A = this chain, B = another copy of it.
Amino acid sequence: MLYVIGLGLSDEKDITVKGLEAVRGCERVYLEAYTSILMVEKEKLEEFYGRPVITATRETVELESDEILRDADKVDVAFLVVGDPLGATTHTDLLLRAQNRGIPTQTIHNASIMTALGSSGLQMYNFGQAISLPFYTQTWTPDSWYDRLEENLRYGMHTLVLLDIKVREQSEENMARGRLVYEPPRFMNPATAFEQILLTEGKRHPSSEVEADMDDDDDVPVAAGPTLMDPEKTLAMSLSRIGTSTQKIISGTVAELARLTAEDYGAPLHSVVIVGKRLHPLEVEFAGRWCVGGESGDWWRVAKEVYGVERESFD
């Protein structure tokens, strides 16, 4: 039996009782490398579980899948991931391979960022498609995510922006030399995210108010019509270390959040939310508790004047 087990969002105690029983009963337990970087160290997990854990690097999917699934038809094997197992195709891949070999599988669910998104105070019903924001480079600024953001905004829906994570990057030099040496992991900070968001906003809807690094060779469609995401008139949130004891949420306008520094947001893991017009008074109230500028922050003013939503008066 192959168990794919979600470890939840924060530390070794976020595993479910069911997951812990499976981990203790398995012959071999693999920990996805990204997971081990993100959460507690492998050693702390081994201590808590009372058994050894093997880091799976996922260097080459086929080779490693073979090893992970070795004898899984005879013994129990567990594969641990941060959050919930089925948020990404990587695990679907492993499950499909197991099933193709006739190996029984069981998925043990846990909280993921999609669940924790509820921590924002924004209603899950009002979220449209999630988007992924990749790390931009000097020569590569892929912005198809912006089209999806616009689609959501057009219908008034909120957008969860998942921020890029680079776990096993090789410098160009090492790659050229075939040296399996890796850069330290990079988890995008909301400060970088908002920088990139404003950059793309400036390219898609150039105006004198938004400074953008406009490269004349850019093959970027300059959109007709006004922007749906005016940084001064669009509400946003950052969600940091959700589900951990140092969880931090900040709300405000895109412009306000873009002025904060990487240190204001702190250590990984982060996500960003762009707030849509279907905003509800209870959402304004709940999410507003963490707004830039407190009671006099732009959050309340923009919610009222731009989104047309009064805050919910409460108890």
Contact = CB atoms under 8 A, between A and B. Distances in A.
Interface of A: 6, 8-9, 11-18, 20-21, 84-87, 89, 92-93, 95-97, 99-100, 107, 109-112, 114-116, 118-119, 121, 123-132, 151, 155, 157, 243, 282, 285-286, 289, 314-315
A96 B285 contact: yes
B16 A13 contact: yes
18 contacts: A6-B115, A8-B109, A11-B18, A15-B17, A16-B16, A16-B110, A17-B17, A84-B115, A85-B118, A96-B286, A107-B119, A109-B243, A111-B112, A114-B114, A114-B115, A125-B130, A125-B132, A128-B157
A14 B155 CA distance: 36
A114 B111 CA distance: 9
Given A129-B126, A129-B157, A289-B99, A110 B107 contact: no
A285 B18 CA distance: 29
A130 B17 CA distance: 29
A76 to B, nearest CB: 16
A100 B314 contact: yes
Number of copies: 2
Q: Which 4 residue pairs spanning A and B have beta carbons closest together?
A: A86-B118, A109-B111, A13-B18, A13-B17
A199 to B, nearest CB: 22
Contacts of A93: 282
A56 to B, nearest CB: 18
Nearest to A99: B289
A112 B119 CA distance: 13
Contacts of A100: 314-315
B125 A315 contact: no
Contacts of A13: 16-18, 21
A124 B15 contact: no
Contacts of A282: 89, 92-93
A15 B14 CA distance: 9
Contacts of A115: 6, 84, 86-87, 109-112, 114-115
Nearest to A20: B17
A18 B314 CA distance: 31
Contacts of A121: 92
